[in-house]
């Protein structure tokens, strides 16, 4: 990384309405993922692995579990003047909360004034990916632009799902226009079937960022959003570059997962991201020890597969099983089990995601479901077999048929 003072800001105040009921009692970045992780661990791991050692996490919505996770897990060595600090909304500009991601930075400018960085890296807290931000920072410095947007290549037909970056054909590092979910868009000069979609990650010259968020705060018509207001402002001033993720090389990555990035903002995408983890050759590989994803190290015993009282052995196929889980005479297939899960005799869990301390009792069946923490599925009960029955019981069922059960629920037979 170039010898500049770099400061990291993680935007973690999102409410995550589309992930309800998983966000009914927690901030979106605090939602458990892949058993032992939280969503925010991916953003923080990428920053720390990239060499950033001064990072703040801006929180707001139901942030207790998020703040606790950051304080307990992300303890960088203070003797090296390093830290990851959770910073809640402080109402520094009046009796109001953050009104958008740009406003969150505007209300937290004291953090930038205190650190006096040259460069500020701003990232979201709810995406699953690997990225070396040091390479992006170097590209930003070389470009001379005040802002740089990280972008990933996506199929042309998915343009209506993303903020699309229109690049200058004569200068592929320059953003000519920023289009929000356009229906008609031209493909890339070197790949007509692809677009560049914004990843929600940015690098700024510190003074340019401060000036931009202050200017945005004075605009009464603004929604005070980084992607929707601040970045288009840089684009309009011809002061915005793009960093194509295809240029990024992460140690230990494979051709299969090198450019993986998924926005897990909906229940369906959250479910699909888990399914990406469990194949023999996973689309996203958690086992890259050269670019690890860090999280809290649980003081828990190993997972265990045992026979039940009838001598039937617990089995597991294509699944991730977390510490403390016990499978006793049951069958688990294509699923992710959180810490201290209990799957009892004769039960079946397939194509499902179980959070911490879920107990599926004897003879129960769980298919295509997401079960939040402490859910108990009683003997003989079923989840995910009958959409109408699940809806009558008050469960959330997505259009693709994934049943979601809120935390602490007891599901009777």
Task: Provide DSSP, 325-350.
Answer: -EEES-EEES-EE-TT-EE-TT-EEE
Domain of 317 in residue numbering reads as 304-411
pLDDT of residue 196: 94
Q: Residue 79 above 70 pLDDT? A: no
pLDDT of residue 93: 66
Do 174 and 50 sit in the same domain of this protein?
yes
Show Cβ contacts of residue 77 under 8 Å, excluding neighbours closer than 6 positions: none
Q: What is the mean pLDDT of residues 223-236?
A: 90
Q: Within a domain: residue 288?
A: no
pLDDT of residue 94: 65
Do 147 and 245 sit in the same domain of this protein?
yes
Do 268 and 317 sit in the same domain of this protein?
no
413 or 358, which is more confident: 358
Which pairs with CB-CB distance under 8 Å and at least 24 residues apart come from 204-207?
Answer: 204/119, 204/120, 204/122, 204/146, 204/147, 204/148, 205/118, 205/119, 205/120, 205/146, 205/147, 206/7, 206/112, 206/116, 206/117, 206/118, 206/119, 206/120
Do 189 and 71 sit in the same domain of this protein?
yes
How many Cβ atoms from other residues are within 10 Å of residue 360's Cβ? Answer: 30
Q: Within a domain: residue 293?
A: no
Query: How wide is the angle at C-alpha 65 spanned by C-alphas 376 and 358, nearest 5°?
Result: 15
pLDDT band at 92 (very low <50, low <70, confident <90, very high): low
pLDDT of residue 179: 86
Quick one: CA dihedral 15, 91, 227, 49, positive or negative?
A: negative
- Tally of CA atoms within 13 A in the half-sphere of 373 that contains its CB: 14
193 is in an annotated binding site: no
For the chain, the domain total comes to 2
- Considering 275, 290, 322, which residue would you say is the last residue of a domain? 275
- Calculate the average pLDDT of the chain: 92
pLDDT band at 143 (very low <50, low <70, confident <90, very high): very high
pTM: 0.94
Do 63 and 145 sit in the same domain of this protein?
yes
181 is in an annotated binding site: yes
Q: What is the CATH number of the domain that holds 252?
A: 3.90.550.10
Q: Within a domain: residue 287?
A: no
Q: Residue 239 above 70 pLDDT? A: yes
In degrees rounded to 5, what are phi and psi of residue 176? -85, -35
Do 219 and 366 sit in the same domain of this protein?
no
116 is in an annotated binding site: no
Do 107 and 256 sit in the same domain of this protein?
yes
141 or 14, which is more confident: 141
pLDDT of residue 14: 78
Return d(Cα 52, Cα 93) in angstroms, integer: 28
352 is in an annotated binding site: no
Do 316 and 247 sit in the same domain of this protein?
no
344 or 187, which is more confident: 344
Residue found by looking up tokens 């288009």 in the block: 232
154 or 90, which is more confident: 154
- Considering 275, 295, 319, which residue would you say is the last residue of a domain? 275
132 token code pair? 């070396």
- Considering 231, 255, 275, which residue would you say is the last residue of a domain? 275
305 or 370, which is more confident: 370
pLDDT digits (tens, 9 = 90+) for 1-57: 448 999 999 999 877 889 999 999 999 999 999 999 999 999 999 999 999 999 999
């Amino acid at each position: 990384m170039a010898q500049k003072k770099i400061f990291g800001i993680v935007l973690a105040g999102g409410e995550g309405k589309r992930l309800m009921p998983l966000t009914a009692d927690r901030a979106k970045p605090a939602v458990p993922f892949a058993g032992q992780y939280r969503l925010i661990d991916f953003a923080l791991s990428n920053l720390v692995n990239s060499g950033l050692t001064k990072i703040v996490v801006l929180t707001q919505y139901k942030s207790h579990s998020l703040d606790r996770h950051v304080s307990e897990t992300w303890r960088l060595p203070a003797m090296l003047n390093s830290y990851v600090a959770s910073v809640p909304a402080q109402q520094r500009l009046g009796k109001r909360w953050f009104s958008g991601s740009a406003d969150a930075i505007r209300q937290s400018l004291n953090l930038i004034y205190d650190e006096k960085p040259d460069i500020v890296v701003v990232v979201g807290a709810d995406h699953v990916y690997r990225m070396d931000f040091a390479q992006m920072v170097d590209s930003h410095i070389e470009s001379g632009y005040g802002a740089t947007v990280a972008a990933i290549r996506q199929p042309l037909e998915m343009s209506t799902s993303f903020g699309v970056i229109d690049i200058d054909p004569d200068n592929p590092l320059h953003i000519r226009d920023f289009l929000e979910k356009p229906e008609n868009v031209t493909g890339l000069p070197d790949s007509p079937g692809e677009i560049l979609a914004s990843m929600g990650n940015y690098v700024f010259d510190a003074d340019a960022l401060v000036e931009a968020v202050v200017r945005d705060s004075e605009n009464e018509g603004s929604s005070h959003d980084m992607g929707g207001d601040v970045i288009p402002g840089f684009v309009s001033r011809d002061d915005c570059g793009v960093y194509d993720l295809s240029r990024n090389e992460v140690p230990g990555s494979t051709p299969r997962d090198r450019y993986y990035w998924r926005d897990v903002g909906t229940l369906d995408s959250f479910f699909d991201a888990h399914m990406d983890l469990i194949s023999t050759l996973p689309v996203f590989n958690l086992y890259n020890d050269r670019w690890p994803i860090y999280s809290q190290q649980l003081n828990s015993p190993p997972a265990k597969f045992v026979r039940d009282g009838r001598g039937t052995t617990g089995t597991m196929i294509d699944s991730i099983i977390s510490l403390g889980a016990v499978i006793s005479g049951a069958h688990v297939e294509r699923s992710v089990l959180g810490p201290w899960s209990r799957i009892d005799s004769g039960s079946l869990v397939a194509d499902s995601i179980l959070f911490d301390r879920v107990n599926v009792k004897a003879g129960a069946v769980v298919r295509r479901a997401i079960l939040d923490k402490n859910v108990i599925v009683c003997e003989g009960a079923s989840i995910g077999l009958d959409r109408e029955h699940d809806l009558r019981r008050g469960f959330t069922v997505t259009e693709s048929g994934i049943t979601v059960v809120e935390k602490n629920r007891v599901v009777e037979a």
